[in-house]
Amino acid sequence: MTVDSCILAIDQGTTSSRAIVFSPFSDIVSVSQQEFQQHYPADGWVEHDPEDIWNSTLSVCKKALAQAKAKGAHVAAIGITNQRETTIIWDKETGQPIYNGIVWQDRRTANSCRSLRDSGLEKSVSERTGLLLDPYFSATKIKWILDNVEGAKARAASGKLAFGTVDSFLIWRLTGGTIHATDVTNASRTNLYNIHDMRWDDELLKLFGIPKAILPEVKQCNDDYGHTQVALLGESIPILGVAGDQQAAAIGQCCFEKGNIKSTYGTGCFVLLNTGAQAVQSNNKLLSTIAYTINDTTHYALEGSIFIAGAAVQWLRDGIQVIERAADTQRLAKQLDYNHGVYMVPAFAGLGAPYWQPHARGAIYGLTRASDARHLARAALEAVCYQTSDLLHAMQQDGVKPTALRVDGGMVANDWACQFLSDILNISVQRPRVMETTALGAAYLAGLQAGIYASTDALCHHNSVESTFTASLDETTRRSLLSGWQRAVSSTLDFAK
């Protein structure tokens, strides 16, 4: 095979870094993935070592490129997509981070968010950014690092430090410290970016006490982000596309029309609804965010964010070790004909949309002496589906009623979970041929900028629906399951008070 015009997509996720080379026809030419260590230094704290992020990313890129080359493929461009909100601050001269990356799941700034909320500031923040005052977003994480690392505040004010989400950090490293940039979607997750005026917001910078000098330049999703240094990947490749991973998944699922909706099941679960050229302010605690800016056209999205999805399965595997592999959950869940009244509320990182309770803790209800790994596996998978139902319910209250849901992410390899999702939502669930839609979205962006694809219209026939799951649960059972879930959530919220 000789294929020119292939694209390397870097997907830097919460638990692993992945590099995938796509052919111009969206076929996977090569792939390499590496998990890296999670750090939990205190209750509710989650950190990544930025060097782990960098080394795993570089290593998977080299492997995927080498495999692609051996198959005769030539990579013309790079697209980057990344776990969003995770906050890294580094020294511009040395390129060294001054603290670990504070991960999006980290709750250490819950109290500072609460005091800002108590001062009545949430409305103004929300009107400008589309977000809420929650530790999820980058602003209070940046402030925490500046306040807690000795000398950081002064160095930040004098322009010696750089802040970035993971995309910025990787771009900085890949280009040898020459480009300090991010894209609009990542900027829109910081709580510092005005999504209507499309600029860093001076009022918000003042409110959070963050100097403008540390912020990256904000570019479109398809744009010129510089070239990789030859010494790193053996050649200089242009970086031509960037988007936060959830927005990239929406792009990979071709959600370019107002009303298109997708849900991605990785570490967390994120439902994004394209709302077109207008940002829609939710009345039901959903986020309003930038879906993309492509060729000077911006679309907005309504987003529901669930912090723990596949991570609950990971907890069963690595935390309490009742399963060996994530895929075991399917075999175990199938062995029960119903859930036997066991519900898991996986609030390991607080509860996100639509509850926004950073102090919530995980809980399992309904255990008996007969409960075992099957009940836990089933409860973990069911919980992800119930949470999606909560999000779609909130969207419905905001006036949107989807009739089908496009799904993707590591977890949707689980057929049982996809079927239960369809049953609980009572709509059809569509799984695409290429399940790596996040990486595919980044590749599409770079391909658009490189001229490999003429327009977004040209992309839409690439990733067809591979499986459709159709709802088959009777209404009484569905309502009874949802009511059990609601009781479990209420108890969890009560316990958090």
439 binds ligand ADP (CB under 6 A): no
Binding-residue total with ligand ADP (CB under 6 A): 19
Round to whole Å and give the CA distance between 138 and 165. Answer: 8
Choosing from 140, 329, 389, 456, the residue that interacts with ligand ADP (CB under 6 A) is 329
**Tally of CB atoms within 10 A around 194:** 18
Number of residues that bind ligand G3P (CB under 6 A): 12
Between residues 125 and 377, which has the closer beta carbon with respect to ligand ADP? 377
Q: Does 182 bind ligand G3P (CB under 6 A)?
A: no
Check whether 396 is labelled as a binding-site residue. no
Return the one option of ligand G3P, ligand ADP, none that residue 85 interacts with (CB less than 5 to 8 A, by type): ligand G3P
Contact residue for ligand G3P among 18, 48, 84, 108 (CB under 6 A): 84
Pick from ligand ADP, ligand G3P, none: which does 112 bind, CB < 5 to 8 A by kind?
none
Torsion over CA: 139, 141, 145, 147 (sign):
positive
Could you say which residues in the range 240-259 bind ligand G3P, by CB under 6 A?
A: 244-246
Q: Which stretch binds ligand ADP (CB under 6 A): 125-133, 273-281, 405-413, 445-453?
A: 405-413
Identify the residue among 267, 305, 419, 492 touching ligand ADP (CB under 6 A): 267
Which residue, 145 or 251, has its beta carbon nearer to ligand ADP? Answer: 251
Minimum distance from CB of 412 to ligand G3P (Å)? 12
Options 67-75, 200-208, 291-299, 403-411: segment touching ligand ADP (CB under 6 A) = 403-411
Q: Which of 246, 237, 273 is closest to 449 using CA atoms?
A: 237
Annotated binding site: 14-16, 18, 84-85, 136, 245-246, 267, 310, 314, 410, 414
Give the interface with ligand G3P as residue ranges (CB under 6 A). Answer: 13-14, 83-85, 104, 244-246, 266-268
Give the interface with ligand ADP as residue ranges (CB under 6 A). Answer: 13-16, 266-267, 310-311, 313-314, 326-327, 329-330, 409-411, 413-414
